[in-house]
């Protein structure tokens, strides 16, 4: 068993692409070698600033010999079938074997040398490597992330000879650009390679580079009684920028600490890739930074630290300039500028978006316990900082700067906090705001986004979600659930649609009852359609009927939009609950009821799950399925009988009577429980059906020869199904 | 503060002369600045037009770069509306371009054993001339001192042969080498002349003209004239039957500068911006296409 060592040495690979490249190299090498029939003990890849490395231990010297028998056509088959088989196998007829009237071909081939397979694979990998961006260089045609300088390929200590577009393989690599020997050197195997690289100031493994950075950075801070501000994202990035990462502490002019710490930290991170530093036990930042250099400078890093400090000063002077200039401008001027900024060509300007969010936040406020005027005010100011100099320079500070500027402008904390946090939650890991004004604005912001992009048919498809609508929907769901907000979500979607279309003048319609429309949006297509027709008939011949018809059509459109968005919320909620271990069929069973109150939906799903986990629940579900199947079969023959279930019929089995009483009792108990939103009680009411249902199916034959008996029993089963369906659509539950 | 090893740091003009000697030794033609206002050294026809086609080419030159919107009346120590770029183009790029570049830094007194030289990803793009490439910003102790690009396309056309392009920011580099915080304090030569004595007045006057002086309507008219003129030259033929790409491209450069002036005057609405850039890019693309087609036809 032998070792394969491959290194593709190039000019500097972008740091952000290195982790993906290591994974792609691993996948591509595994796929190709496996396809050739090779197996191995261990395969590892490394990516660094100038090299991708692959090492495989325990590879055989050759792929296995192949011996197999292929079954061909019957000897009685037409000549074409045999010809086809001969073509496929590359054999002649006399080489075939006949057995039981069928032709067989014996195929055997010798294994190929592993080195041959590797040479082919490397060529193929290089030509098909999925770099996010690649380039050509010189007069060649090869594409790589940056020019390839050299390929090292060793198998069992010997060079595998090949070339890729004129670049020959060899046993040579080189060390650090400035600190290394300055000469390429040969290696024997992986251990030798790794040791010689380290001796030439190259840490091969990103994990080693990170460790060196973290330990070094903490040490230079600790030496001055300071502490490092950890930043994993930055650590990942700088570990891809240096082969011999060397943290050095630099000094910052303390005057810059008057800037918001987010500004200082971001300026350091984005532009300079410096770590921030703090004093242990104190808030805020210390007037220092840690730069991760790629060299151990011969003067101990003094010149280097001074140079970096100077650059940082220039950067922070810029930030300070924006900070002071922005304070001279203020919210009115910024909001005026938003009139010239397009949010989306079909969704108007940012100023129009702000108007919508403000109106929506005002409507949401009472539902979340916020003051409507404050919610509207916060929303009106929420996007202003997009026109500020600071956010123009650092888009990541949107919201945060608005919060600072609002506080400086004397806005109440509730408003400033809402401006700061209204983009939250930005992802599954982000925290959810709880302050009522913030919740109102955050929800309005996301609803406007969702409804807007759904209205212009820019829905997410597959992996494409350019407007991050899934994130917005999940954000709304988390805001609702984690704050226990009771809100008719589809009704609110309808309202968002109204603001989007500027169709609030629907209220000018005769007898227009907006609250009822919002409620009806939740009801169902038929009701809304019937309502529309009723009003339309009333309008016929009246003055301005055309406009009013148009408005009604529009209303129907908005209702449809509400359904589409609600279905999207249902999908996202299903994903969220599934991630928390909840069965998706239960979510579907509850959503099928047409409710749009997420808090209620989740509580119902939870109660349902608990119920189904009990013996009563599981058995009742089986009973339901049996009843539903029977009813379904009968429905095919004709309409099911309707009306009250009779009791006290002659010869009526006791089990039938008992179930009839039990179903009636369950119906009123379920109604009362649902009214009180006590889902556990609703489940308990259903549980009482279990014994009578079981007994009924054991003792009673539904399809009686006596027509009246059969009819009464079908009515009874229909009643059982109906009462259960009020709790959840049990038909959607697997079991 | 000593930031470089050299006993006496190079003056601004010695920095240029050193780079001239260095790149001359590497076989480059040392050209003079182009005599039309441009926003970047790349726009010199010796780069944009020579990067097209298959013919090898090596050149280096200083190019004054005009960015009317960056003027700060001489009051900002780092920003200028007129500054210098040192531009090198090597076509095809030699294999050892990174080493050649690092040696040029050593030549001007930046010692990589004392300073932190990094190649940080930066994919360069100039939408007005439809040019793009992959490469890096080169950092020296956290400061960007050079743009290092492998040209992949020019004028919207993918290049036949890849050129390596180096763009040094001369003022920045000189400030670094001399350890100076304010560009106007740079030593221009060894006689005590400062950069401020040469250019401060220019910044003051030109900033005022850029921001408040130019007649927007006239700029717009001239832009349209240049646009027409460029298109007109592309319909004409030279004595050997060649399209008048060089003349047309001059008009594109002028139009581009007029656009920058309008922008500095705040006369370009957000919605118009893309349209203006698109008009310049289309003309540039037409120049590039005419040149490439002619070269192919006569090859």
pLDDT in tens, A125-139: 999 999 999 999 999
Strand partners, A149: none
> How many C-beta atoms lie closer than 10 Å to residue B186's C-beta?
22
pLDDT score at A32? 95
Question: B212-241 pLDDT, tens per residue?
Answer: 899 999 999 999 999 999 999 999 999 998
My answer on whether B250 and B124 are in the same domain is: no
My answer on whether B78 and B121 are in the same domain is: yes
Structural contact between residues A227 and A277, judged by C-beta atoms closer than 8 angstroms:
yes
Which residue of B116, B120, B152 is in closest CB contact with A293? B116
Burial of A198 (0-12, 13-18, 19+ CB in 10 A): middle
Domain final residue, candidates B208, B233, B254:
B208
Confidence check: pLDDT of A273 > 90: yes
Phi then psi for A10, rounded to 5 degrees? Answer: -140, 180
Q: Mapping DSSP to helix (H, G, I), strand (E, B) and coil, where does residue A461 land?
A: strand
The pLDDT of B267-288, averaged and rounded, is: 86
Confidence check: pLDDT of A507 > 70: no
Structural contact between residues A479 and A439, judged by C-beta atoms closer than 8 angstroms:
yes
* Chain A residues touching B140 at Cβ < 8 A: 307
* Cα four-point dihedral sign A89, A94, A98, A103: positive
pLDDT score at A500? 76
Structure tokens at B299: 């090859």
How far, in whole angstroms, is CA A368 from its chain's centroid?
A: 27
Q: Does domain A2-62+114-199 have CATH number 3.30.70?
A: yes
pLDDT score at A211? 97
Local confidence band at A534 (pLDDT 50, 70, 90 cut-offs)? low
Nearest chain A Cα distance for residue B232, angstroms: 34
Instruction: Output the CATH code of domain A606-732.
Output: 1.10.730
Quick check: is B54 in a domain?
yes
* Cα four-point dihedral sign B66, B70, B73, B74: negative
Confidence check: pLDDT of A558 > 80: no
CA distance B267 to B108: 42
Taking the Cβ of residue A14 and every Cβ of chain B, the question of whether any pair is shorter than 8 Å is answered with yes
The pLDDT of B270-290, averaged and rounded, is: 88
CA distance B57 to B78: 33
* Chain B residues touching A139 at Cβ < 8 A: 92, 161-162
Local confidence band at A540 (pLDDT 50, 70, 90 cut-offs)? low
Q: Mapping DSSP to helix (H, G, I), strand (E, B) and coil, where does residue A83 land?
A: helix
Instruction: Output the CATH code of domain A66-109.
Output: 3.30.70
Question: B73-108 pLDDT, tens per residue?
Answer: 998 888 899 999 999 999 999 999 999 999 999 999
Taking the Cβ of residue A546 and every Cβ of chain B, the question of whether any pair is shorter than 8 Å is answered with no
Q: What is the CATH number of the domain that holds B251?
A: 1.20.58.180
Quick check: is B174 in a domain?
yes
Contacts of A560 (CB under 8 A, 6+ apart): none
Taking the Cβ of residue B58 and every Cβ of chain A, the question of whether any pair is shorter than 8 Å is answered with no
Quick check: is B231 in a domain?
yes
Long-range (24+ apart) CB contacts under 8 A made by A330-338 are A330/A405, A330/A409, A331/A381, A331/A384, A331/A405, A331/A406, A331/A409, A333/A387, A334/A384, A334/A385, A334/A386, A334/A387, A334/A388, A335/A380, A335/A381, A335/A383, A335/A384, A335/A387, A337/A387, A338/A383, A338/A384, A338/A386, A338/A387
Taking the Cβ of residue B151 and every Cβ of chain A, the question of whether any pair is shorter than 8 Å is answered with no
How far, in whole angstroms, is CA A689 from its chain's centroid?
A: 42
My answer on whether B102 and B186 are in the same domain is: yes
pLDDT score at B2? 41
The pLDDT of A611-640, averaged and rounded, is: 89
Structural contact between residues A500 and A452, judged by C-beta atoms closer than 8 angstroms:
yes
DSSP state, residue B1: -
Helix (H) or strand (E) holding A288: strand A288-293
Quick check: is B2 in a domain?
no
My answer on whether B193 and B232 are in the same domain is: no
Local confidence band at A523 (pLDDT 50, 70, 90 cut-offs)? very low
Q: DSSP alpha helices (H): ranges in A112-247?
A: 114-128, 190-199, 206-222, 232-238
CA distance A271 to A259: 17
Supply the mean pLDDT for chain A. Answer: 89
The pLDDT of A402-424, averaged and rounded, is: 97
Q: Which residues of A528-538 are buried (b: 16+ CB within 10 A; e: fewer)?
A: beebbeebeee
Which residue of B78, B113, B135 is in closest CB contact with A298? B113
Question: A201-252 pLDDT, tens per residue?
Answer: 999 999 999 999 999 999 999 999 999 999 999 999 999 999 999 999 999 9
Confidence check: pLDDT of B4 > 50: no
State how beta strands B29-30 and B57-66 pair: parallel
Local confidence band at A499 (pLDDT 50, 70, 90 cut-offs)? confident
* Range of weakest confidence among A305-309, B242-246, B267-271: B267-271
Q: Does the fold of domain A606-732 match that of domain A330-485?
A: no
Local confidence band at A516 (pLDDT 50, 70, 90 cut-offs)? low
CA distance B120 to B148: 10
My answer on whether B158 and B282 are in the same domain is: no
Contacts of A69 (CB under 8 A, 6+ apart): A104, A105, A106, A107
Which of A467, A477, A461, A460 has the alpha carbon at shortest distance from A576? A477
Taking the Cβ of residue A234 and every Cβ of chain B, the question of whether any pair is shorter than 8 Å is answered with no
Confidence check: pLDDT of B142 > 50: yes
Local confidence band at A564 (pLDDT 50, 70, 90 cut-offs)? confident
Topology of the domain comprising A330-485: Hypothetical protein af1432 (1.10.3210)
Q: How far is CA A161 from CA A43, A120, A123, A149, B216, in A?
A: 21, 11, 12, 16, 66
Structure tokens at A718: 């229909």
Taking the Cβ of residue A340 and every Cβ of chain B, the question of whether any pair is shorter than 8 Å is answered with yes
Long-range (24+ apart) CB contacts under 8 A made by A677-680 are A677/A600, A677/A603, A679/A603, A679/A604, A679/A606, A679/A607, A679/A608, A679/A727, A680/A607, A680/A610
Structural contact between residues B72 and B79, judged by C-beta atoms closer than 8 angstroms:
yes
Confidence check: pLDDT of A644 > 80: yes
Q: Do A304 and B116 touch (CB under 8 A)?
A: yes
Structural contact between residues B259 and B276, judged by C-beta atoms closer than 8 angstroms:
yes
Supply the mean pLDDT for chain B. Answer: 92
**Residue scoring higher pLDDT (B65 or A489):** B65
> How many C-beta atoms lie closer than 10 Å to residue A505's C-beta?
12
* Chain B residues touching A149 at Cβ < 8 A: 95
Structural contact between residues A370 and A391, judged by C-beta atoms closer than 8 angstroms:
no
Q: What is the CATH number of the domain that holds B113?
A: 3.30.930.10
Confidence check: pLDDT of B29 > 90: yes
Question: A78-105 pLDDT, tens per residue?
Answer: 888 889 988 888 888 888 888 888 999 8
pLDDT score at A522? 47
pLDDT score at B247? 96
* Range of weakest confidence among A18-27, A121-130, A157-166, A701-710: A701-710
pLDDT score at A563? 78
pLDDT score at B246? 96
For chain B, how many residues are written? Answer: 299
Quick check: is B154 in a domain?
yes
pLDDT score at A555? 64
Rg (CA), chain A: 36
* Range of weakest confidence among A59-73, A418-432, A492-506, B283-297: A492-506
Taking the Cβ of residue B140 and every Cβ of chain A, the question of whether any pair is shorter than 8 Å is answered with yes
Question: A435-448 pLDDT, tens per residue?
Answer: 999 999 999 999 99
* Chain B residues touching A11 at Cβ < 8 A: 98, 119
Which of A588, A599, A618 has the alpha carbon at shortest distance from A686? A618
* Range of weakest confidence among A493-507, B97-111, B251-265: A493-507
pLDDT score at B274? 81
* Cα four-point dihedral sign B69, B74, B80, B83: positive
Q: Do B92 and A138 touch (CB under 8 A)?
A: yes
Segments making up each domain of chain A, as ranges: 2-62+114-199, 66-109, 206-323, 330-485, 488-581, 606-732
Local confidence band at B3 (pLDDT 50, 70, 90 cut-offs)? very low
* Range of weakest confidence among A498-512, A637-651, B51-65: A498-512
My answer on whether B204 and B228 are in the same domain is: no
The tokens 């009673």 sit on which residue?
Answer: A700
Taking the Cβ of residue A136 and every Cβ of chain B, the question of whether any pair is shorter than 8 Å is answered with yes
pLDDT score at A127? 96
State how beta strands B131-140 and B117-121 pair: antiparallel
Contacts of B285 (CB under 8 A, 6+ apart): B130, B155, B156, B157
Domain final residue, candidates B173, B208, B243:
B208
Which residue of B93, B112, B136 is in closest CB contact with A178? B112
Q: Which domain holds residue B98?
A: 12-208
* Chain A residues touching B78 at Cβ < 8 A: 314
Q: Do A291 and B176 touch (CB under 8 A)?
A: no
Residue among B94, B125, B142, B182 with most chain A CBs within 10 A, to mutate:
B142
Local confidence band at A546 (pLDDT 50, 70, 90 cut-offs)? low
Quick check: is B228 in a domain?
yes
Local confidence band at A514 (pLDDT 50, 70, 90 cut-offs)? low
* Chain B residues touching A303 at Cβ < 8 A: 2-4, 114-115, 141
DSSP state, residue B243: B
* Range of weakest confidence among A132-141, A312-321, A407-416, B43-52: A312-321
Local confidence band at A707 (pLDDT 50, 70, 90 cut-offs)? confident
pLDDT score at A168? 95
Q: Do A303 and B181 touch (CB under 8 A)?
A: no
pLDDT score at A532? 56
Structural contact between residues A73 and A104, judged by C-beta atoms closer than 8 angstroms:
no
CA distance A218 to A196: 27
Quick check: is B4 in a domain?
no
pLDDT score at A401? 96
Domain final residue, candidates B208, B236, B255:
B208
pLDDT score at A345? 76
Helix (H) or strand (E) holding B135: strand B131-140
Taking the Cβ of residue B146 and every Cβ of chain A, the question of whether any pair is shorter than 8 Å is answered with no
Residue among A11, A132, A138 with most chain B CBs within 10 A, to mutate:
A138
Contacts of A100 (CB under 8 A, 6+ apart): none
The pLDDT of B177-193, averaged and rounded, is: 93
Quick check: is B244 in a domain?
yes
CA distance A265 to A274: 8
**Residue scoring higher pLDDT (A193 or A545):** A193
For chain A, percent of residues with pLDDT exceeding 90: 59
Which residue of A12, A137, A178 is in closest CB contact with B113? A178
How many structural domains compose chain B?
Answer: 2
Structural contact between residues B96 and A137, judged by C-beta atoms closer than 8 angstroms:
no
The pLDDT of A608-620, averaged and rounded, is: 91
CA distance A554 to A560: 10
How far, in whole angstroms, is CA A239 from its chain's centroid?
A: 26
Tell me the HSE value of A126 on the side-chain side, using a 13 A CA sphere: 30
> How many C-beta atoms lie closer than 10 Å to residue A693's C-beta?
25
Burial of A598 (0-12, 13-18, 19+ CB in 10 A): buried
């Amino acid at each position: 068993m032998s070792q394969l060592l491959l290194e593709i040495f190039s000019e500097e690979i972008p740091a952000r692409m290195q982790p993906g490249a290591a994974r792609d190299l691993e996948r591509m090498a595994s796929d190709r070698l496996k396809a050739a029939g090779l197996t191995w003990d261990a395969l590892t890849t490394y990516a660094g600033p100038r090299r991708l490395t692959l090492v495989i231990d325990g590879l055989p010297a050759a792929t296995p010999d192949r011996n197999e028998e292929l079954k061909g056509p019957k000897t009685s088959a037409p000549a074409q079938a045999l010809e086809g088989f001969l073509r496929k196998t590359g054999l002649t007829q006399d080489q075939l074997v006949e057995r039981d009237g069928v032709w067989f071909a014996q195929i055997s081939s010798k294994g190929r040398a592993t080195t041959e397979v590797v040479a082919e694979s490397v060529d193929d990998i290089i030509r098909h490597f999925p770099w996010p961006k690649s380039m050509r260089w010189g007069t060649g045609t090869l594409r790589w992330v940056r020019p390839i300088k050299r390929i090292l390929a060793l198998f069992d200590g010997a060079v595998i000879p090949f070339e890729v577009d004129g670049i020959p393989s060899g046993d040579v690599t080189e060390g650090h650009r400035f600190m290394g020997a300055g000469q390429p050197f040969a290696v024997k195997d992986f251990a030798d390679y790794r040791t010689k690289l380290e001796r030439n100031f190259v840490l091969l493994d990103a994990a080693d580079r990170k460790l060196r950075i973290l330990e070094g950075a903490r040490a230079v801070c600790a030496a001055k009684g300071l502490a490092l501000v950890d930043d994993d994202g930055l650590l990942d990035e700088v570990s891809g920028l240096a082969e011999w990462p060397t943290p050095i502490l630099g000094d910052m002019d303390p005057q810059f600490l008057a800037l918001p710490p987010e500004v200082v930290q971001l300026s350091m991170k984005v532009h300079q890739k410096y770590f921030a530093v703090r004093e242990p036990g104190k808030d805020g930042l210390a007037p220092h930074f840690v730069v991760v250099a790629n060299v151990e400078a011969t003067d101990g890093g003094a010149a280097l630290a001074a140079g970096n400090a100077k650059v940082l000063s220039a950067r922070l002077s810029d930030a300070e300039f924006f900070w002071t200039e922005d304070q001279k401008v203020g919210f009115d001027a910024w909001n005026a500028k938003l009139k010239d900024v397009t949010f989306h060509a079909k969704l108007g300007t940012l100023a129009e978006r702000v108007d919508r969010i403000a109106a929506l936040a005002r409507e949401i406020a009472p539902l979340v316990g916020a003051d409507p005027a404050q919610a509207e005010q916060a929303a009106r100011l929420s996007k202003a900082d997009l026109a500020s100099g600071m956010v123009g320079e650092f888009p990541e500070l949107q919201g945060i700067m608005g919060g600072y500027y609002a506080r400086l402008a004397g806005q109440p904390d509730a408003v400033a906090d809402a401006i700061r946090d209204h983009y939250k939650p930005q992802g599954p890991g982000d925290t959810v705001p709880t302050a009522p004004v913030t919740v109102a604005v955050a929800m309005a912001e996301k609803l406007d986004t969702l409804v807007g992009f759904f209205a212009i048919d820019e829905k997410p498809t597959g992996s494409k979600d350019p407007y991050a609508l899934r994130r917005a929907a999940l954000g709304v769901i988390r805001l609702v659930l984690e704050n226990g907000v009771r809100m008719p979500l589809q009704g609110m979607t309808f309202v968002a649609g109204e603001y989007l279309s500027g169709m609030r003048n629907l209220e000018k319609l005769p007898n227009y009852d907006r609250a009822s429309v919002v409620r009806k949006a939740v009801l169902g297509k038929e009701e809304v359609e019937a309502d529309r027709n009723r009003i339309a008939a009333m309008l016929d011949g009246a003055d301005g009927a055309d406009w009013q018809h148009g408005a009604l059509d529009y209303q129907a459109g908005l209702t449809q939009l509400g359904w589409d968005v609600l279905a999207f919320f249902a999908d996202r909620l299903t994903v969220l609950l599934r991630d928390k271990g909840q069965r998706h069929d239960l979510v579907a069973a509850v959503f099928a009821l047409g409710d749009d109150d997420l808090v209620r939906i989740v509580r119902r799903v939870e109660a349902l799950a608990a119920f189904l986990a009990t013996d009563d629940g599981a058995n009742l579900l089986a009973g339901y399925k049996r009843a539903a199947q029977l009813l379904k079969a009968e429905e095919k023959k004709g309409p099911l009988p309707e009306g009250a279930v009779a009791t006290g019929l002659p010869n009526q089995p006791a089990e039938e009577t008992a179930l009839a009483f039990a179903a009636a009792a369950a119906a009123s108990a379920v109604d009362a429980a649902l009214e009180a939103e006590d889902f556990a009680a609703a489940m308990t009411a259903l549980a009482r059906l279990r014994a009578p249902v079981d007994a009924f199916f054991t003792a009673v034959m539904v399809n009686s020869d006596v027509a009246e008996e059969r009819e009464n029993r079908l009515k009874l089963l229909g009643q059982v199904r109906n009462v259960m369906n009020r709790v959840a659509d049990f038909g959607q539950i697997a079991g | 503060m000593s930031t470089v090893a050299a006993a006496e740091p190079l003056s601004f003009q010695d920095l240029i002369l050193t780079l001239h000697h260095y790149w001359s030794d590497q076989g480059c033609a040392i050209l003079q600045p182009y005599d039309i206002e441009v926003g970047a050294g790349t726009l010199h026809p010796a780069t944009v037009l020579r990067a097209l086609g298959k013919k090898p080419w090596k050149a280096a030159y200083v190019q004054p770069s005009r960015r009317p919107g960056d003027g700060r009346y001489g009051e900002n120590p780092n920003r200028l509306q007129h500054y210098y770029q040192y531009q090198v183009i090597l076509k095809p790029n030699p294999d050892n371009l990174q080493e050649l570049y690092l040696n040029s830094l050593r030549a001007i007194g930046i010692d990589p054993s004392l300073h932190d030289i990094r190649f940080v990803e930066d994919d360069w793009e100039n939408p007005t001339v439809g040019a793009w490439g992959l490469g890096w910003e080169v950092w020296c102790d956290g400061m960007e001192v050079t743009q290092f690009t492998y040209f992949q396309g020019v004028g919207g056309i993918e290049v036949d042969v890849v050129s390596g392009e180096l763009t040094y920011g001369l003022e920045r580099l000189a400030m670094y080498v001399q350890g100076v915080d304010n560009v106007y304090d740079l030593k221009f030569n060894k006689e005590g002349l400062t950069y401020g004595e040469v250019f401060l007045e220019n910044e003051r006057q030109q900033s005022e003209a850029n921001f408040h002086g130019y007649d927007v309507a006239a700029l717009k008219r001239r832009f349209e004239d240049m646009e027409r003129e460029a298109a007109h030259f592309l319909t004409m033929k030279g004595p050997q039957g060649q399209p008048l790409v060089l003349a047309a491209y001059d008009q594109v450069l002028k139009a581009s500068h007029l656009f920058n002036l309008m922008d500095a005057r705040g006369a370009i609405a957000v919605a118009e911006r893309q349209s203006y850039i698109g008009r310049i890019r289309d003309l540039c693309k037409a120049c590039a296409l005419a040149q490439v087609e002619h070269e192919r036809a006569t090859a």
